[in-house]
Amino acid sequence: MVTKLLLRLHSFPLTTFHTNLIFPRKHSLHKPLTVSLFSSSSSSSQALTQTRIPDPTLSYGPSLHKGYTPQPQQHEQEDCLIDEQDFTRVFDLAALRVPAKDCFALEKRLRGHLLNWPRIRNIARVPGDEVDPVLVNLLGDRDEEPEEDLVSLERRIYGKAEGDGDVLSPVLYREKLSRTFNSRGYVKFRNLAKISRPTKKKRRRNDDGEEAARGEGKRGIEKNEIALVEVVEEEEEGGDLKGLLGDEFEGRMRKWRGPTRLLLLDERYSGRKVEDLPEAIKVLLKEDMKESPKSTFELVRCKLTLFYNYWQMNEILEATLPKDIIVPSAFETVGHVAHLNLREEHLPYKNLIAKVVLDKNKPKIQTVINKLEAIHNDYRTMQLEVLAGNHSLVTTVVENGMRFHVDLATVYWNSRLATERQRLLNGFTRNDVVCDVFTGVGPIAISAAKIVKRVYANDLNPYAVEYLERNCVLNKVERRVEVFNMDGRRFIRAIFASEKAKGITQVVMNLPNDAAEYLDAFRGIFRGRPKNGDFTFPLIHVYGFSKAQDPEFDFHERIRIALSEVAVDVEMRRVRLVAPGKWMLCASFILPQTVGFADSRQDR
């Protein structure tokens, strides 16, 4: 998520309340302010008339069950599945307005008293008070008449000071200045060009047309906007300076003369007056005042608006789905595709769930699919339903630093096996020659090709073989991988009957449903060859599922039966629990000589 703060100025019709002032300011440089956090630009023109959402059991922190909703807006509903405006929540907060230069130090020291909400920065910018340091310097360091300095500064920046009447448009203001130029002299206006020319950043935003509508209250919430902070009140005229800092600081009362920041205070302090703030905050501010006597602070009330984009997937789903069903919290990803495994109870809400998954995981996720039924077909491909996003199931997955093109509609892919594949790869050396009998699009074969001498990769599915070949080229291993498209049993027989058999040191058989039953293909593969011949008895890694009480024993039995061998020395490990009570296992063993030289008449 982008964590950028951008400024909004004068974009909301804001209500102004009285403020508790730490430092009163007779002349304010500020209008009601709008500050946007984490967004790229514009703000809402929502009127903040509210519908309270009372919940007596409120926990600490942001929640869709807390705060209040702004008055519903007339809007065109793009998607009837979910109305994003229903998820807008407004929270009343207190904030300390502090000089920008002090904000980080104060944030550190006040941390325990700040808002500390996830994805919301404790420091918010205050638009409109960013003053070019050169201009601030123009004020000099004189203490005697700070207010006159500020009035003068205001005129330079805004074309008017408080009480001067309406703000001139930038064009009129420039014209006015140019008319008075000669009489007033260049000295006082040497920054004219600077202040009348928009900065590069502002210009860019103007180009986007985003700033153009500012002030007209026409803008909607930006797509990626998650939160907005608005100062909703201005200071009380002639507020009591002594309230917080005592008599000793009265003489130090001075005006703002530079950029400020808002330090958002803990939600507990919402609506409090200065005197009600914890002693720790007061002491700290006093200390800061002693260290930098020119610092100014004020307590302001503000509204923090959290939009649909702020809330996380589970928060939205929890608020939307009926209370008695489990909120789906996880999904698999394959490239840009999110793969849900929805339960029966979720099916009536599948499109809504998919939309939230898509919204909350963009741009990485572009498509949301649901598996329709258990995998039954030979190629181990899934029956899928596209629920949201684009319908392309051709995607690119990165695993072990390799890239794999995959079409989920026609080939098998399972990202959950990445760790297991890596474990297998760790056992390969550059002296190995690997045979991958059920290779799919090649996640093992292609990664192995970067390590070992040679790989023979086979799959029955012609689409998988097509992607395998593409992926070999994509990962620049096509010269080390020989590709076959045949039934696994036939492949084992053919490869071990050929000259290639000599060098093969490891065989991978990852077809957990039936791979063990293909082991019979190894019977007699070296039959007829001299027993002291220069061939290797390969290390075989075979995968399988077991629902038995003792899965290792059960799988071992299947292997023994397939090999027609009384005893096989097998190293067994559990890979993962694929369903309640169903384990995926990997058995590794060196092909027994008795099996390799077996009489083929025992074969199927």
Ligand X SMILES: C[S@@+](CC[C@H](N)C(=O)[O-])C[C@H]1O[C@@H](n2cnc3c(N)ncnc32)[C@H](O)[C@@H]1O
Nearest-CA neighbor of 139 among 120, 126, 152, 158? 152
By CB under 6 A, tell whether 439 contacts ligand X.
yes
Crossing angle of the two packed helices 313-320 and 350-361, in degrees rounded to 10: 160
For the chain, how far is it from start to end, CA to CA, in angstroms? 59
Which H or E run includes 542?
strand 539-546
Interface residue with ligand X, options 254, 272, 379, 588 (CB under 6 A): 379
User: What is the number of helices (H) and of strands (E) in the chain?
Assistant: 16, 22
What are the tokens at 169? 């448009």
Site string for ligand X, 455-494 (x = CB under 6 A): ---xxxx--x----------------------xx------
By CB under 6 A, tell whether 211 contacts ligand X.
no
Interface residue with ligand X, options 412, 496, 555, 583 (CB under 6 A): 412
State which residue has the least CB distance to ligand X. Answer: 440
Task: Return the beta strands (E) in 65-178 as ranges.
Answer: 68-70, 89-99, 123-125
- Is 403 marked within a binding site? no
Span from 97-105, 373-381, 392-400, 498-506 in contact with ligand X (CB under 6 A): 373-381
- Is 459 marked within a binding site? yes
Span from 78-86, 219-227, 257-265, 374-382 in contact with ligand X (CB under 6 A): 374-382
Q: What proportions of the chain, in percent to the nearest 5, are helix, strand and coil?
A: 35, 20, 45
Taking a C-beta distance cutoff of 8 angstroms, is the pair 550, 557 a contact?
no
Q: How far is the CB of 472 from ligand X (least distance, A)?
A: 14
Span from 38-46, 260-268, 354-362, 437-445 in contact with ligand X (CB under 6 A): 437-445
- Is 137 marked within a binding site? no
- Closest to ligand X by CB, 172 or 497: 497
* C-alpha to C-alpha distance for 342 and 81, rounded to whole angstroms: 18
* C-alpha to C-alpha distance for 356 and 367, rounded to whole angstroms: 12
What are the tokens at 418? 């990445």
- Closest to ligand X by CB, 164 or 378: 378
* C-alpha to C-alpha distance for 396 and 471, rounded to whole angstroms: 10
By CB under 6 A, tell whether 399 contacts ligand X.
no
Q: How far is the CB of 486 from ligand X (least distance, A)?
A: 7
Nearest-CA neighbor of 108 among 119, 120, 122? 122
Taking a C-beta distance cutoff of 8 angstroms, is the pair 101, 258 a contact?
yes
- Is 510 marked within a binding site? yes
- Closest to ligand X by CB, 297 or 518: 518
Q: How far is the CB of 506 from ligand X (least distance, A)?
A: 14
- Closest to ligand X by CB, 288 or 459: 459
Site for ligand X in 33-72 (CB under 6 A): none
Q: How far is the CB of 518 from ligand X (least distance, A)?
A: 7
As beta bridge partners, residue 99 has: 260
Q: Which amino acids are annotated as binding site for S-adenosyl-L-methionine, given as ranges?
A: 421, 459-460, 487-488, 510
**Residues in the site for ligand X, rule: CB under 6 A?**
378-380, 412-414, 417, 438-440, 443-444, 458-461, 464, 487-488, 510-511
